[in-house]
Amino acid sequence: MKIPGIIGGVGPESTIDYYRTIINLYREKYDPDGYPEIVIASINMTRMLAMIEAADMAGLVRYLLHGFARLQAAGADFGAIASNTPHLVFAELLERSPLPLISIVDATTARAASAGIKSAALLGTAFTMRNDFYRIAFEREGIQLHVPSADEQTYIHRRIFDELEFGVVKSETRTGFDAIIDRMRVDCGIEGVILGCTELPLLFAEPSGPGGLPFFNTARIHIEEIVAAMAR
């Protein structure tokens, strides 16, 4: 069985979910009494975000590559990042990483395409919503991706970093997110919602939202791909 190497700490709450869910899925699929080997390199989220805010993509690539080198040295057979935002530089990481990598964006795109949707909303950090790495991947599959308005993006970003990153889940925040999704359902004709931040499942535990729109839990989808890769 191959050993996954996870770059975590971006943020800690989702890293805990990755660790717990990888173990649970491993037991469901392969060994009900098993304890799979997992290597986690927890990086400094504040440092990573400062690089992104300063548009220091070269520095971000170096920082993440150092994380993958640590994972390789610890015995990992392949790597993944337990976060959507760092996939800003995934293409370069894929070229230079000492480990084969599993992309959360590619896994989510494939899942959305298999569901047959043609239009989706992307919720995540401002860095994810304002960049095009998800849009490009979705457009290759003929799926139109919509992002919230500028004010809505600010609201979502703040709720992620002021609340969800600390494991704080508020009913009023869920109400605010639901209102954004419902507006986009009416105004944009979305057929699904991409939970493009690995902390968002803390707020959206169920499989669908307003109007019955399906949620695509990027963390869960990514974890399923990681567990499948352990047996390849």
Domain with CATH 3.40.50.1860 in the chain: 4-103+221-230, 105-217
Cβ–Cβ < 8 Å for 192, 220: no
pLDDT in tens, 138-147: 999 999 999 9
**Position 39 confidence tier, pLDDT thresholds 50, 70, 90:** very high
Q: Does domain 105-217 have CATH number 3.40.50.1860?
A: yes
pLDDT for 208 equals 81
Hey, what amino acid is at 29? K
In whole angstroms, how far apart are CA 133 and each of 7, 127, 136?
Answer: 19, 10, 5
The structure's pTM equals 0.94
In whole angstroms, how far apart are CA 157 and each of 73, 154, 173?
Answer: 35, 5, 12
Report which secondary-structure segment, H or E, holds 80.
Answer: strand 78-81
pLDDT for 127 equals 93
Q: Is the pLDDT of residue 209 over 80?
A: no
In whole angstroms, how far apart are CA 202 and each of 80, 140, 205?
Answer: 20, 29, 6
Structure token digits, residue 72:
């390789």
Give CATH for domain 4-103+221-230: 3.40.50.1860
Q: How many CB atoms lie within 10 A of CB 231?
A: 10
pLDDT in tens, 157-186: 999 999 998 999 999 999 999 999 999 999
Q: Is the pLDDT of residue 11 over 90?
A: no
